[in-house]
């Protein structure tokens, strides 16, 4: 059992949504923090059918339980009409809700009641280094991913990943009616995985998938809405030289990428290990930004000639390169040094690496081992 880094209020005074990808641990977290709460689980067919047929049952049941002041609704997106009853109960009875789900897409497309700012928004990510503590193993994370069941399993993680993707396609995408034809979307997932942590070329992915570029853009929107991945925008403010403006895309879990891209075991020193390492750094930064409440802007910076910095954090508060190398050389530092020429006000420049000890170059670039980077990040000592 891991102590999650996302801090939910022990005695909620406001309602909130808790979003997160499938199997990330949302229900487990809510049960841990609120063991005695009234709970409605819409994954259970009997409860799902009852509330689907008569959403007003929720109000009637809580009218009969005047002592109930806090209710958890799991997988709320399955019965969007229930949110009208939730809204009324918040307004009329002062009941607070934890509304848990893996996608708001169906709610938005159906013009469901999203409570008009009456509920806070939290997001739970996959496991991060802080939560694992001494049990964190970088190689294990890069091969198995950050979903709790996959990371913890001693064997069979590849079968678990295969089942996870199949369940996502059938239960999240098909069952919720997010796409009309599942076959091209399945091909899209494999093509998109090959572009993980890369600039997105919609035309190339469309050609490989057999659909139009606008359809590919809609598919990426589905990945974002179901929290299976996120775009990273380009940093284009006040450029002195021509910069790239296209976004990059990162899947939320590198284990899913490994399965979709049909990767074998990742070994340190390989190109694919380096890409997975970059995805892990993105995962840690994004989770920290969410959990700390700082909601830092994340971007990347790239010149038209190809010189690049992986991550810009905040308004040039920190620039970070992810390099899965045990020996960082001047070649690894070209991007950060070029960035400094254009943006001399950048506060910190960091290379996250596989070196054994931290060090600083003569021009002020910090070379940090991966674990040191993670420890300092979660200790609020980087940004």
Q: What is the pLDDT of residues 193-224, one digit of tens each?
A: 999 999 999 999 999 999 999 999 999 999 99
The residues, ordered by sequence, that sit 6+ positions from 57 with a Cβ below 8 Å of its Cβ are 50, 51
- Asked whether residue 244 carries a pLDDT value surpassing 90, the answer given is no
Decide if pLDDT at 360 tops 60: yes
Mean pLDDT of the chain: 92
For residue 111, the model assigns a pLDDT of: 45
304 closest CA partner among 365, 249, 234: 234
Q: Write down the pLDDT at residue 108.
A: 65
**pLDDT tens-digit profile of 316-355?**
899 999 999 999 999 999 999 999 999 999 999 999 999 9
Topology classification of domain 15-123: Rossmann fold (3.40.50)
Say yes or no to pLDDT of 117 above 80. no
- Percentage helix, strand, coil for the chain under 3-state DSSP, each rounded to 5: 45, 15, 40
Q: How many CB atoms lie within 10 A of CB 334?
A: 14
Least confident of 29-38, 102-111, 313-322: 102-111
Q: Binning pLDDT at 50, 70 and 90, where does residue 119 land? A: confident
Average pLDDT over residues 23-28: 94
- Please tell me the distance from the alpha carbon of residue 199 to that of residue 264, in angstroms, as a whole number: 23
CA distances to 124, 129, 276, 301 from 366, rounded to whole Å, are: 30, 20, 21, 18
Contact 143, 258 (CB under 8 A): yes
Per-domain residue ranges of the chain: 15-123, 129-378
Residues 6+ away with beta carbon under 8 Å from 351: 320, 321, 322, 323, 328, 332, 333, 336, 365, 366, 367, 368
113: pLDDT strictly greater than 70: no
Element (H, E) at 192: helix 182-194
pLDDT tens-place string over residues 259-297: 999 999 999 999 999 999 999 999 999 999 999 999 999
pLDDT reading at 110 higher than 60: no
Rounded Cα distance between 62 and 291, Å, is: 32
If phi over 0 gives left and psi between -120 and 50 gives alpha, with beta otherwise, what is residue 314?
left
């Amino acid at each position: 059992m891991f102590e999650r880094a996302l801090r939910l209020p022990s005695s909620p005074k406001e309602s909130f949504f808790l979003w997160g990808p499938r199997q990330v641990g949302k229900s487990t977290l809510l049960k841990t923090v609120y063991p005695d709460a009234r709970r409605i689980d819409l994954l259970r067919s009997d409860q799902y059918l009852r509330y689907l047929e008569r959403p007003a049952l929720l109000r009637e049941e809580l009218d009969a339980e005047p002592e109930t002041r806090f209710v958890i609704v799991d997988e709320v997106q399955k019965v969007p009409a229930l949110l009208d009853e939730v809204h009324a109960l918040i307004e009329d009875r002062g009941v607070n809700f934890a509304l848990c789900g893996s996608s708001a897409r169906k709610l938005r497309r159906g013009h469901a009641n999203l409570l008009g700012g009456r509920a806070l928004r939290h997001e739970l990510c996959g496991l991060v280094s802080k939560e694992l503590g001494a049990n964190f193993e970088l190689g294990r994370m890069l091969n198995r991913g950050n979903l709790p069941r996959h990371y913890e399993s001693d064997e069979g993680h590849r079968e678990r990943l295969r089942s996870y993707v199949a369940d996502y396609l059938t239960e999240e995408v098909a069952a919720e009616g997010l796409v009309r034809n599942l076959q091209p979307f399945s091909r899209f997932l494999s093509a998109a995985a090959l572009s993980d942590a890369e600039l997105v070329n919609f035309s190339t992915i469309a050609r490989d998938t057999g659909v139009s570029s606008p359809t590919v853009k809609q598919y990426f929107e589905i990945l974002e809405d179901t929290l299976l991945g996120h775009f990273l925008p380009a940093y284009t403010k006040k450029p002195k030289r021509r910069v790239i403006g296209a976004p990059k895309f990162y899947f939320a879990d590198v284990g899913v990428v490994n399965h979709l891209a049909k990767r074998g075991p990742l070994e340190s020193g390989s190109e694919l290990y380096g890409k997975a390492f970059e995805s892990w750094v993105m995962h840690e930064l994004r989770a920290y930004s969410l959990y700390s409440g700082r909601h830092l802007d994340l971007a990347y910076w790239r010149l038209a000639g190809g010189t690049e910095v992986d991550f810009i954090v905040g308004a040039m508060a920190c620039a970070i390169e992810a390099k899965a190398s045990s020996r960082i050389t001047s070649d690894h530092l070209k991007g950060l040094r070029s960035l400094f020429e254009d943006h001399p006000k950048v506060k910190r420049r960091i290379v996250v690496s596989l070196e054994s000890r931290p060090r600083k170059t003569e021009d002020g670039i910090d070379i940090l081992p991966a674990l040191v980077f993670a420890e300092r990040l979660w200790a609020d000592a980087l940004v």
